[in-house]
Amino acid sequence: MRARSRFLPGGWLSVYAFLYIVFLYLPVIFLPIFSINTSPTPKFPLTGYTLQWYEDLPHTPALLDAAWNSLIVGISASVLSTVLGILAARSITRYRYPGRRAINGLIMAPLVLPEVIVAISMLLVMLQLGLSLSLFTVVLGHVLVCIPYSMTVLTSGFEGFDRSLEEASADLGESAFGTFRRVTLPMVAPAIISSLLVCFTISLDEFIIAFFLTGTEATLPIYIWGQLRFASKLPGVLALGTLLLVASFLLMTVAEILRRRAARRTQNEGGLYA
């Protein structure tokens, strides 16, 4: 009865939803499929199964350098943006002050601006300041685009956080730092780890800003970009791409599980909704 009173019955919509999921996933699935195909060109019919393209990967020094660079950039960017994200998310969820919404809007702005424009603006300033382009400038850029995501994850973890728990801890004689370490941190830890993982994934996959702001050192997406010019290198790129896809998928799944746990924890134990 209630279902019929709504426009668009659920049956047809679930067929559409299924097709939509296929549309979302299908293109991405071709990368792993052709990465284990013997033919060097990605076309049907498949010619045979091989792991050759994967075995070649560790024997490519340029690729190993790029992977190492990506790791360094990813860890630095995720730690820095999560620290800045914690400060901002805590301030936004706990305090009320004039200009709060405007500041929040500014911090979230990189999310909706064209990346090329963000990248070239930073490039201009860095060149004007006489900073030489390096992995460091890439980290600076990645932090800017990671903060909005970090904020989103952390605010959902911090919201509903019950301040009376901290006050109780202070009243019972715990120092400010002790309260933070023994009351605040355990409650928000899942959200913080989730933010670290999300930011690391974004930095690992980010291309445009790294492309403009790096000097001679390549990150993994820049390495892939360089290889795309050579048709013969495609199978290796597909194999590497598959590994990156799997890594992003795993990292984001863990991040999502932790984020939900954080949201549940503050809501249930915070007493606001319990």
Partner 1 sequence: MTAAAEGSAPLRMTRARRNALLQSEPVQGFALISPTFLYALVLLVLPILVVIAHSFWTQHYLTIDRTFTLENYRIALTEPIYRDLLWRSLYISLTVSLFTVILAYPIAYFISFHGGRHKSLWLFLITIPFWTSYLLRVMSWKVILGYNGVLNSGLMGLGIIDEPSTALLYNSSAVIITLTHAWAAFAILPIFVSLEKVDRTLVEAATDLGDGPLRSFLRVTLPLSAPGIISAALIVMIPTVGDYVTPKLVGGKDGVMIANAIQAQFGKAANWPLGAALSVTTMLIVSLMAGATVLIIRTLQRMAR
Site for partner 1 in 140-159 (CB under 8 A): 140-141, 143-144, 147
**SS3 at position 37:** strand
| CA gap 157, 136 in Å, rounded | 30
Q: How far is the CB of 45 from partner 1 (least distance, A)?
A: 6
- Count of chain residues binding partner 1 (CB under 8 A): 92
- Report the residue from 51, 168, 185, 228 that binds partner 1 according to the rule CB under 8 A: 228
Residues 81-100 that bind partner 1 (CB under 8 A): 84-85, 87-88, 90-92, 94-100
SS3 49: strand
Tell me which DSSP letter residue 133 carries: P
Q: List the interface residues with partner 1, window 229-258 (CB under 8 A).
A: 237-238, 241, 244-245, 248-249, 252-253, 256
The piece of 54-62, 139-147, 153-161, 264-272 that touches partner 1 (CB under 8 A) is: 139-147
Min CB(67)–partner 1 separation in Å: 14
Sign of CA dihedral 126, 129, 134, 138: negative
Closest approach of partner 1 to the CB of residue 126, in Å: 9
Q: Which of residues 31-50 bind partner 1 (CB under 8 A)?
A: 31, 34, 41-45
- Is residue 144 a contact partner of residue 166, using CB atoms and an 8 Å limit? no
* Cα separations in angstroms, 59 against 50, 56, 65, 184: 17, 5, 11, 47
**81 to each of 43, 74, 126, 268, how far by Cα in Å?**
41, 10, 19, 28
The region of 61-69, 112-120, 155-163, 188-196 touching partner 1 under the rule CB under 8 A is: 112-120
**27 binding partner 1? (CB under 8 A):** yes
When the beta carbons of 211 and 217 are compared against partner 1, the nearer one is: 211
Show the binding pattern over residues 187-226: x = contacts partner 1 (CB under 8 A), - = does not. --------------x--xx-xx---x--------x--xx-
The Cα–Cα gap between 258 and 253 comes to: 9
The least distance separating partner 1 from the CB of residue 70, rounded to whole angstroms, comes to 11
Q: Which residues pair with 49 in a beta bridge?
A: 37
Q: CA 241, CA 198: separation in Å to the nearest integer? A: 18
